[in-house]
Amino acid sequence: MTSGASDRVGHLLRSFEERARQVTELGQRLSGVRGVATSSGGVVTATVTPSGALVDLRLSPAATDRSHVALRQEILETVRAATRDAAERLEEMVGPVLGEDAQRIRDAVSSAGDFPVPRPDEDPPSAPRGDPGGGPSDEPPETFLR
């Protein structure tokens, strides 16, 4: 191998090792990322992970003054705001490590869109239940492998 090629390989190896170190450090920092939001009236406070998993939900005593529909909507809006906060924190941490790939990842994530949210005036669908009249059952289906 020529000296120039050896220098390039050495540079690439050092660059790779630095990137691997950054990714390891980033993984450790990301495990603690949380997004937090409080509703405008201070009734609801939500804490979520960057994936949107709800890890804490606090309701003030004023929550009992709201209808169930209004409270549900306030909870959903606050959880969404906390998820945006977590995503922004995550991006601040990940952006420098990803460099030019960060924009491509942002574009891919934003193109996925939001999950549909029920309107404030509609109740969420109930889970299907077993029906003795021949409808869906909680029992496992019979197998055809006998």
pTM: 0.58
* pLDDT in the model for residue 125: 58
> Torsions phi, psi of 8, nearest 5?
-65, -45
The pair of three-digit structure tokens given for residue 19, joined into one six-digit string: 């990137």
* pLDDT in the model for residue 99: 73
* pLDDT in the model for residue 70: 94
Instruction: Give ∠ CA 14-15-19 in degrees, rounded to 5.
Output: 115
Q: Domain locations in the chain?
A: 34-112
* pLDDT in the model for residue 15: 85
46: buried, middle or exposed (CB in 10 Å: 19+, 13-18, 0-12)?
Answer: buried
Per-residue pLDDT of the chain (146 residues; tens, 9 = 90+): 677 888 888 888 888 888 788 778 777 777 788 999 999 999 999 999 888 899 999 999 999 999 999 999 999 999 999 999 998 888 888 777 777 777 776 676 666 555 554 555 555 555 555 545 544 555 555 555 54
| Domain 34-112 CATH assignment equals 3.30.1310.10 | yes
* pLDDT in the model for residue 18: 84
